[in-house]
């Protein structure tokens, strides 16, 4: 039987669009009543998932090292504002206005980056954009205090909203994100934060999920196993150092029908066997009574005996290798396994080329993180400020992050020498020279040096022109062949 196909009729969209402009399908995000159900592991879903990721990031050395490496690399990047080309002075003034916005907040730019990078742990980071009127530095109201007195609307702060305060999401009918409902940690009613007054940073936007995906997601299984093995190893080491306590008591205390007093005594010895440890409080007390012989005379066999049972040989499982394997897996999940090169006992440290390739891949991943941070700033923050201040949209500049990895000057110099040797004219070129000076962290060329270089260039051109236009002397004419 042929399958019947139904053609959906376009209903009016929330925006009022109908017909060919109406949206018919959905992204497929599993969300109900503001709660996202994309994660199939309950331990990583909702508030429980936030607590789990928080434990991973704050209580595991490997995860902490990876996150700290990313944070330090991102915070070391230099940021710039690129003006619109062919706009002249107006474009430069617009770029300077954006620079003044980013440097006139109540917190530093580095603090904002640190908060925004919490999206690596939780998959998302929410920041509320708090505005202010730039009245002046001595304004009594801190909401209007600014280093500038132009009266324009600026940014007071990009205030972070912690992930563990999330109550639920507010989603639009077409799958868009309308806002976030926040539950303050000290109680009170929920607070609604509309997306129009906020910035949402996400690692990924699959199905337009507001929660993105934590970079620790694929490392969770290795972390969970590693955590259990480390606990077992610690218990094993403790037992190996102190020995396994064995307490022998009369059998009448262990009988099922023993009196309550005997059962209480047996329970005390069970607790002693479980809690005895080799530390400053280690020790136990036992009765000195011994078993009598058949004649009732005392013997040397005590009624209660305590011994420490120790292992007779080495364990068959090397937990150290297992732990290192899981640590490498965690680092590999974040493309940071180069941190583990050379740290494993009994394994090759890895070649320099392998290390260099892994580091380059990790740096490219950090550049992707930078892109996830700068996109909401350029797409949403700047257009709002342009609209609030009634500035020409054609003058809107772009916030541009620098390179995460320093330029290899040796390779760059070799490349320039090769293309120059092939005949490509490179100099004089002010833009290229400024770029090379910047990459080498050399001081910019002073205006005096630029003027002197320009005078020398003009003098050389004038000398060449004079040489070409110079009239030959009589001796030069006599020496010149007739057929020349």
Check: CB of residue 190 under 8 Å from CB of residue 181: yes
More confident residue, 125 or 411: 125
Residues 158 and 251 in one domain: no
pLDDT at 470 over 60: yes
Confidence of residue 266 (pLDDT cuts 50, 70, 90): confident
Per cent of the chain over pLDDT 70 is 80
Span 299-328, average pLDDT: 76
| pLDDT given for residue 394 in this prediction | 94
More confident residue, 234 or 328: 328
Check: CB of residue 396 under 8 Å from CB of residue 382: yes
pLDDT at 312 over 60: no
Residues 203 and 260 in one domain: no
CA angle 316, 320, 326 (to 5 degrees): 115
Does any domain span residue 27?
Answer: yes
More confident residue, 438 or 217: 217
- Provide the mean pLDDT of the chain: 82
| pLDDT given for residue 318 in this prediction | 77
The model's pLDDT over 341-398, given as tens digits with 9 standing for 90+, comes to 665 554 445 555 566 778 888 888 889 899 999 999 999 999 999 999 999 999 999 9
Where are the extended beta strands (E) located within 240-283? 244-248
More confident residue, 407 or 14: 407
pLDDT at 199 over 80: yes
Residues 190 and 259 in one domain: no
More confident residue, 482 or 141: 141
Check: CB of residue 136 under 8 Å from CB of residue 149: yes
Residues 260 and 210 in one domain: no
Q: At what angle do helices 430-439 and 409-421 cross, to 10 degrees?
A: 150
Residues 255 and 171 in one domain: no
Does any domain span residue 11?
Answer: no
Q: What number of other Cβ atoms are within 10 A of residue 221's Cβ?
A: 14
More confident residue, 376 or 444: 376
Check: CB of residue 266 under 8 Å from CB of residue 254: yes
Does any domain span residue 125?
Answer: yes
Does the pTM exceed 0.85?
no
Residues 74 and 157 in one domain: yes
Check: CB of residue 84 under 8 Å from CB of residue 397: yes
More confident residue, 52 or 1: 52
Residues 30 and 118 in one domain: yes
More confident residue, 86 or 182: 182
Does any domain span residue 339?
Answer: no
Q: Look at 146-150, 382-386, 456-460 and tell me which has the smallest mean pLDDT.
A: 456-460
Does any domain span residue 327?
Answer: no
| pLDDT given for residue 292 in this prediction | 80
pLDDT at 216 over 90: yes
Residues 71 and 171 in one domain: yes
Confidence of residue 417 (pLDDT cuts 50, 70, 90): confident
Pair of tokens at residue 402: 């620098």
Q: Report the distance separating Cα 447 and Cα 385, nearest Å.
A: 35
| pLDDT given for residue 347 in this prediction | 46
Determine the 3-state secondary structure of 133 from DSSP.
strand
Residues 155 and 279 in one domain: no
DSSP result, 62-97: HHHHHHHHHHHHHHT--EEEEPPTT-HHHHHHHHHH
CA angle 59, 62, 65 (to 5 degrees): 95
3-state percent helix, strand, coil for the chain, nearest multiple of 5: 50, 15, 40
Q: What number of other Cβ atoms are within 10 A of residue 196's Cβ?
A: 10
More confident residue, 346 or 96: 96
pLDDT at 49 over 50: yes
Residues 278 and 210 in one domain: no
Q: Report the distance separating Cα 261 and Cα 84, nearest Å.
A: 89
Q: Look at 106-110, 202-206, 417-421, 425-429 and tell me which has the smallest mean pLDDT.
A: 425-429
Span 196-219, average pLDDT: 93
Does any domain span residue 380?
Answer: no
pLDDT at 256 over 70: yes
Span 276-303, average pLDDT: 74
Confidence of residue 211 (pLDDT cuts 50, 70, 90): very high
Considering 220-224, 301-305, 360-364, the range whose residues carry the highest mean pLDDT is 220-224
Does any domain span residue 437?
Answer: yes
Does any domain span residue 157?
Answer: yes
Residue 281's contacts (CB-CB under 8 Å, 6 or more residues apart) are none
Confidence of residue 439 (pLDDT cuts 50, 70, 90): low
Residues 248 and 206 in one domain: no
Domain count, the chain: 3
Span 211-229, average pLDDT: 92
Note down the domain range covering 417: 408-448
Residues 168 and 255 in one domain: no
């Amino acid at each position: 039987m042929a399958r019947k196909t139904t053609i959906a009729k376009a209903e009016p969209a929330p925006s009022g669009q109908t017909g060919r402009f109406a949206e018919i399908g959905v992204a497929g995000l599993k969300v109900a009543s503001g709660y996202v159900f994309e994660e199939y592991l309950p331990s990583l879903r909702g508030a429980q998932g936030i607590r789990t990721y928080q434990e991973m990031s704050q209580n595991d050395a490997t995860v902490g090292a990876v996150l700290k490496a990313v944070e330090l690399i991102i915070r070391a990047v230099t940021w710039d504002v690129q003006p619109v080309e062919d706009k002249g002075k107006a474009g430069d003034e617009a770029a300077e206005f954006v620079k003044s916005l980013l440097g006139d907040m109540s917190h530093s730019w580095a603090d904002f980056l640190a908060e925004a990078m919490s999206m690596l742990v939780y998959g998302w980071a929410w920041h509320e954009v708090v505005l202010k009127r730039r009245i002046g530095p001595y304004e009594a109201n801190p909401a209007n205090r600014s280093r500038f007195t132009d009266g324009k609307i600026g940014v007071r702060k990009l205030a972070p909203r912690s992930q563990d305060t999330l109550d639920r999401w507010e989603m639009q009918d077409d799958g868009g994100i309308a806002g976030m409902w926040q539950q303050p940690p000290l109680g009170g009613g929920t607070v609604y934060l509309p997306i129009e007054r906020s910035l949402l940073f996400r690692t990924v936007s699959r199905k337009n999920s507001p929660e993105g995906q934590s970079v620790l997601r694929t490392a969770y299984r290795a972390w969970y196993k590693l955590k259990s093995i480390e606990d077992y190893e610690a218990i094993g080491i403790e037992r190996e150092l102190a020995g396994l306590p064995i307490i022998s008591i009369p059998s009448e205390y262990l009988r099922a029908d023993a009196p309550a007093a005997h059962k209480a005594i047996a329970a005390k010895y069970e607790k002693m066997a479980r809690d005895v440890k080799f530390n400053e409080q280690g020790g136990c007390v036992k009765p000195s009574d011994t078993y009598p012989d058949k004649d009732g005379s005392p013997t040397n066999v005590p009624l209660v005996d305590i011994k420490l049972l120790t292992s007779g040989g080495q364990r068959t499982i090397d937990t150290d290798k297992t732990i290192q394997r899981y640590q490498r897996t965690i680092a590999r999940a974040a493309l940071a396994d180069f941190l583990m090169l050379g740290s494993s006992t009994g394994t090759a440290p890895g070649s320099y080329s392998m290390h260099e390739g892994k580091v380059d891949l990790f740096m490219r991943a950090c550049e992707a993180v930078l892109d996830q941070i700068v996109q909401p700033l350029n797409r949403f923050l700047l257009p709002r400020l342009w609209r609030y201040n009634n500035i020409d949209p054609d003058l809107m500049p772009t916030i541009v992050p620098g390179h995460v990895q320093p330029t290899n000057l040796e390779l760059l110099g070799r490349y320039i020498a090769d293309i120059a040797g092939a005949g490509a004219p490179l100099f004089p070129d002010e833009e290229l020279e400024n770029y090379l000076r910047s990459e080498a962290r050399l001081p910019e060329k002073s205006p005096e040096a630029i003027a002197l270089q320009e005078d020398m260039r003009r003098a050389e051109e004038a000398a060449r022109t004079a040489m070409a236009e110079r009239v030959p002397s009589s001796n030069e004419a006599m020496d010149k062949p007739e057929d020349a």
